[in-house]
Amino acid sequence: MSGWPTAPAGPVGPGAGFAEANDDGVPEIEPVAIKLLAMREHSARELRDKLRSRFADHDAIAQVLADLQRRNLLSDERFTEQYVAMRTRKGYGPLRIRAELAERGIDSALIEDWLDGNPREWVRQMREVARQRFGDAGAEDRREQAKRARFLSYRGFPESLIRSYLWD
């Protein structure tokens, strides 16, 4: 042995080695899907898009996704619950979380179920985010109020909550 590292056996690069073929020559989609789900929850659309970037057989992908949903390994409900909790912990408001969930293919009725429950909780969340960012002192002038309003709006809190927080 020369002591030099040897080249890896098999394909190298992004996505390499994922599309292993079975005896029929059809890619093994399900193990890849399960591996992705083991890393984190995915929405059905996210997982579909990731699988489509690796495999050409869209019918087989649809069949695998339907089977994963039937076995409750893929659940938009569970994804939404975890996503809302994660983004709320990071200080984001309902408008931003709603838009992000819609981008990920979550049904609007499911989004409403998870975001429209308790408006007082969003007020509490917004106040905590503002306190962490700006401290306990109130905004002293219009410029400071505008700065706080822009920040809270960017974080996804509704204008009505921001107005009541800053001016009431």
- Condensed to tens digits (0 to 9), the pLDDT of residues 10-37 reads 444 444 444 554 544 346 899 999 999 9
Tell me: do 49 and 81 sit in the same domain: no
Tell me: do 107 and 148 sit in the same domain: yes
Within-domain flag for 5:
no
Provide the domain count of the chain.
2
Within-domain flag for 1:
no
What is the per-residue pLDDT for 4?
53
Tell me: do 159 and 133 sit in the same domain: yes
Query: Which of 19-23, 74-78, 108-112, 127-131 has the lowest average pLDDT?
Result: 19-23
Tell me: do 87 and 156 sit in the same domain: yes
Within-domain flag for 105:
yes
Q: Measured between alpha carbons, how far is residue 42 from residues 25, 66, 78, 119 in Å?
A: 27, 14, 9, 27
Tell me: do 151 and 132 sit in the same domain: yes
Task: Calculate the average pLDDT of the chain.
Answer: 86
Give the helix ranges, DSSP H, for 1-157: 29-39, 44-52, 58-70, 76-89, 94-103, 108-115, 119-134, 142-154
- What confidence tier does 9 reach under pLDDT thresholds 50, 70, 90? very low
Among candidate residues 39, 74, 109, the one where a domain is terminated: 74
Cβ-Cβ contacts under 8 Å for 48 (sequence gap 6 or more): 61, 62, 65
By residue range, what is the domain housing residue 61? 29-74
Backbone region of residue 148 per phi and psi (left: phi > 0; alpha: psi in -120 to 50; beta: other values): alpha
Tell me: do 127 and 161 sit in the same domain: yes
Within-domain flag for 6:
no
CA distance 150 to 159: 10
- Kindly state the tokens that stand for 117: 């429950």
pTM: 0.78
* Three-class DSSP category at 28: coil
